[in-house]
Amino acid sequence: MTTYTPMMQQYLMIKEDYKDAFLFFRLGDFYELFFEDAERASQLLEITLTSRDGGSKGRIPMCGVPHHSAKNYIETLVSKGYKVAICEQTEDPKVAKGVVRREVVQLITPGTITEGKTIDGKTNHFIGAAEYVAEQQIAFVILDISTGEATATIIEGDIKTLFQQLQSYAIRELIVGEAMHLEAAEMAQALNIVLSIEHDEMQQTQQFTSDLPPNVQPIASRLLRYIERTQMRSLSHIQPFRFTEMNHYLSIDANSKRNLELMQSIRGGDQKGTLLWLLDETVTAMGGRKLKQWLHQPLVQRTKIEQRLTIVEHLLEDFFVREELRERLKQVYDLERLAGRVAFGNVGGRDLAQLRESLRQVPAIREQLLASKSEPLRQLGEAFDICEEVEQLLAVAITDHPPITIKEGDVIRDGYHDKLDELRYAARNGKDWIAQLEQKERELTGIKNLKIGYNRIFGYYIEITKSNFGNVDLTRYERKQTLANAERYITQELKEKEALILNAEEQSLALEYDLFVALREELKAYIPRVQALASEISELDVFISFASISEKYHFTRPIFHDGRDLTIKEGRHPVVEKMLNKQLYVPNDCILPSDRNMMLITGPNMSGKSTYMRQVAITVILAQMGCYVPAKEASLPITDQIFTRIGAADDLAAGQSTFMVEMLESQYAITHATKNSLLLFDEIGRGTSTYDGMSLAQAMMEYIHQEIGANTLFSTHYHELTELEHDLARLQNVHVSATERDGKVVFLHKVKTGAADKSYGVHVAELAEMPEPIIERARVLLTQFEAQEAVKPVQEKSSIVAEQLSLFTDQPSLSKEEQEVLEVLQKANIMGTTPLQAMTLLHELQQKLLSK
């Protein structure tokens, strides 16, 4: 250490406490990085790598960024998953003895960044914490530092279930203990989630965690401790953690959210083409975030759902009230994040002006609601706290158009503070006097362009060019500065006024800053009220969006009942309908009475089977969010969970094939579903051989029918499965119709009763413009195969499975593991094994073979 300069010794001592972060070390007007930090940052930020003298060891790597533009560089590093420690000068260099004292004032991490281009106004930016509280039970807490919203729950499942939740909430950073860090590290790295260990004792913070179960409180306290340690500032805007029971909301696992494209499209990965894209006509950032929360967690309590639907109904009926409210809401800024900035102490004059202008809209919004004929809307208005004291305080204190930074002046309004007014008057009056002096000197000297200038080094001065020296009595002036072609002078009178003006300005700016800080502290007491108001405004914004969407796309109010029958008349997929042309979209019924609540859907590819299945799920989700639905009529039960297995994709990060992913998602659905769930399975078994796939699909259908009894939509290309309608009492066959015209397939997109008679696979290939020779050859082969199948004896057809199994016995030599697998298969009671047990057995045997 002693081989380095004193400043580098200081740097190294601070860096020792922040080994996992880039240390932005403030030197004058720059943040500098050294050693390995500099080498890595220069590459990541694409800035020049240089060096400086570090002591007796010679030069050391260095790079830097200007402090005024550091935010962009910091955001770039954090968006790539890194942490940045901000080290500021905490001592005035003018009074420092030796090296200026420096301290880290904030650690910015992927979960704690609150500003920048990557922070979407309509999206919560959560940081999470998790820990096992029992076997297959994980306490999971999340917090948005920018808004103060905090929730907690207990997840039933393992680490994979936890990471599904992390993906659902787009969480970039998770706080864990050492044991979970070891278990989760590999998966976190694959999903680009930063794991941070909080070593400190989990101190209880009753102020925020008192409403949580005892076994969850320590995890929430751990998260708060991490935020307190890294942010080093007030947490007064953090709201008490709200505990949510998983069974209080319609549960939609991460796979199903992805398959249904609720918030992110499968193809583009963006918001366009999603249900959120269709629904989001909110006009406030708070409303946009609230809409996402409701989409994440639709309700299961019928009373609350009906209350939401009634509010939407009344807003839908009163167009003028709705539009007046919308126009008012457009002028409301993000109250939640403004409150967070007040608490954090980084709120500026413009922020407070936005807060004031937002609060000025609230009385009119409240009056509009109270004047409504609708009792639910009046109740909504009564809940509004107009925060009159806050608005009045800001009206008196803050100017109409404050500057960006609070140290520029003109943030505090005239008349707010007597002393400030006096100083401002002195400064302004002095400047008027200088303007008058300038005019007077011009008249005395006859120099029309004579100016009285100012700079921070020499103060005020009268500048006379050398060409005018002969016309001026220079004995009146005192020389202050010599230039190449001019001289700068000052008079005794100007010198006296200069001291008055500069002292007044300096004192004025200092006093104004102190007054602003005091005002900011005073506003902290009102943060909970502003947050409560923000919540009410965000809900109103979502209700108005629901009403507008329902009117625009001709949605209807769903009817809920206590039974299990599901009836949707002329249902539509609203997103597909919007992206196409609504005149082209073919509506379809979905009737699932309790005694026929399983539907097997057949039909060709591209006919609309998947879209039909998705639209049923989306209708249920919209209804339980409290929104109208895209149908002519909808009579629905309360659904507790939705599971989908739609589409196929490898999970390369976990080293799993398409078929394994399909089986794992199916297993999760089957083991978690209840009779009140909705299951959607699209072409199960297509990732393996025909007979394997058909066997699994049939076994799954039988298990769901006999053991679960949930409302189920099951699509397939295995036409043999349609025979199950005779064996499974609650199963009904339907098909998406198509027809041939002039040798070409025409998709009718209409769901009809009964099974499909053809698959039209060759026709679909023709639509895809497959080369003509391939199409012709396929037609010939299809005719031959169909003729052979028609004359093949039943015994010959059934022997194919035996032929497939003979692959195992034809091996010239078997390993010990392979022999053991064969023995287990020979002894297994296949007919007495449930589908789930069979899947488990197959998985174990596969792992045994792979591990040899």
Q: How do beta strands 486-490 and 83-89 pair?
A: unpaired
Q: For residue 736, which amino acid is it?
A: V
User: 727, 759, 791 — which closes off a domain?
Assistant: 759
DSSP 8-state symbol, 638: P
Looking at the structure, tell me whether residues 515 and 601 fall in a common domain: no
Q: What CATH number should be reported for the domain holding residue 142?
A: 3.30.420.110
348 marked as part of a ligand binding site:
no
Q: Which domain holds residue 60?
A: 6-108
User: What span, in angstroms and rounded, lies between the C-alpha atoms of 63 and 30?
Assistant: 10
Structure pTM?
0.82
Looking at the structure, tell me whether residues 541 and 681 fall in a common domain: no
Considering the domain boundaries, does residue 454 fall inside one? yes
Contact 206, 238 (CB under 8 A): no
pLDDT for the residue 648:
47
Looking at the structure, tell me whether residues 743 and 606 fall in a common domain: yes
Q: For residue 434, which amino acid is it?
A: I
- CA angle at residue 468 from 463 to 472, to 5 degrees? 85
Looking at the structure, tell me whether residues 571 and 515 fall in a common domain: no
User: What span, in angstroms and rounded, lies between the C-alpha atoms of 783 and 761?
Assistant: 13
610 marked as part of a ligand binding site:
yes
Place of tokens 């020779």: 773
Considering the domain boundaries, does residue 436 fall inside one? yes
Q: What CATH number should be reported for the domain holding residue 19?
A: 3.40.1170.10
Looking at the structure, tell me whether residues 697 and 812 fall in a common domain: no
Considering the domain boundaries, does residue 408 fall inside one? yes
State the helix-helix crossing angle for 658-672 and 690-703, rounded to 10 degrees: 10
Query: In whole angstroms, what separates CA 600 from the centre of its chain?
Result: 36
Considering the domain boundaries, does residue 70 fall inside one? yes
* Count of the separate structural domains present in the chain: 5
Long-range contacts made by residues 39-45, C-beta under 8 angstroms, separation at least 24? 41/77, 44/76, 44/77, 44/80, 44/82, 45/73, 45/76, 45/77
User: What span, in angstroms and rounded, lies between the C-alpha atoms of 377 and 318?
Assistant: 11
Looking at the structure, tell me whether residues 511 and 636 fall in a common domain: no
User: 552, 586, 602 — which closes off a domain?
Assistant: 552
Q: Residues of the chain whose pLDDT is less than 70? A: 1-2, 200-206, 581-583, 647-659, 685-690, 740, 742-745, 757-770, 775, 779, 781-782, 784-813, 830-836, 851-852
Considering the domain boundaries, does residue 121 fall inside one? no
DSSP annotation string for 455-472 = ETTTEEEEEEEGGGGGGS
Residue (of 557, 676, 684) closest to 609 by Cα position: 684
Considering the domain boundaries, does residue 171 fall inside one? yes
Looking at the structure, tell me whether residues 386 and 445 fall in a common domain: yes
CA-CA-CA-CA dihedral for 623, 715, 843, 661, to nearest 10: -60
Contact 2, 64 (CB under 8 A): no
| Terminal-residue alpha carbon distance, the chain | 53
Looking at the structure, tell me whether residues 141 and 177 fall in a common domain: yes
DSSP annotation string for 358-371 = HHTTHHHHHHHHHT
pLDDT for the residue 799:
42
607 marked as part of a ligand binding site:
yes
- Those residues whose C-beta lies under 8 Å from the C-beta of residue 312, and which sit 6 or more positions away, are 543, 546, 547, 550, 557, 626, 627, 628
Tokens of 274: 């999603």
Looking at the structure, tell me whether residues 483 and 449 fall in a common domain: yes
Residue (of 170, 141, 531, 209) closest to 340 by Cα position: 531
User: What span, in angstroms and rounded, lies between the C-alpha atoms of 162 and 593?
Assistant: 35
381 marked as part of a ligand binding site:
no
User: What span, in angstroms and rounded, lies between the C-alpha atoms of 737 and 7?
Assistant: 78
128 marked as part of a ligand binding site:
no
DSSP annotation string for 727-792 = T-TTEEEEEEEEEEETTEEEEEEEEEES--S---HHHHHHHTT--HHHHHHHHHHHHHHHHHHHHS
Looking at the structure, tell me whether residues 15 and 135 fall in a common domain: no
Question: Please, what's the b/e burial string for 410-444 (b: 16 or more CB within 10 A of its CB; e: otherwise)?
Answer: bbbbeebbeebeebbebbeebeeebeebeeebeee
Considering the domain boundaries, does residue 648 fall inside one? yes
pLDDT single digits (tens) 656-711: 556 677 777 778 888 889 999 999 998 776 655 567 778 888 888 999 999 999 99
Looking at the structure, tell me whether residues 596 and 544 fall in a common domain: no
User: 495, 518, 552 — which closes off a domain?
Assistant: 552
Looking at the structure, tell me whether residues 546 and 569 fall in a common domain: no
Considering the domain boundaries, does residue 180 fall inside one? yes
pLDDT for the residue 762:
62
User: What span, in angstroms and rounded, lies between the C-alpha atoms of 258 and 137?
Assistant: 24
User: What span, in angstroms and rounded, lies between the C-alpha atoms of 769 and 491?
Assistant: 91
Q: What CATH number should be reported for the domain holding residue 713?
A: 3.40.50.300
pLDDT for the residue 326:
95
608 marked as part of a ligand binding site:
yes
Strands (E), 366-482: 451-455, 459-465, 478-482
Report helix, strand or coil for 571: strand
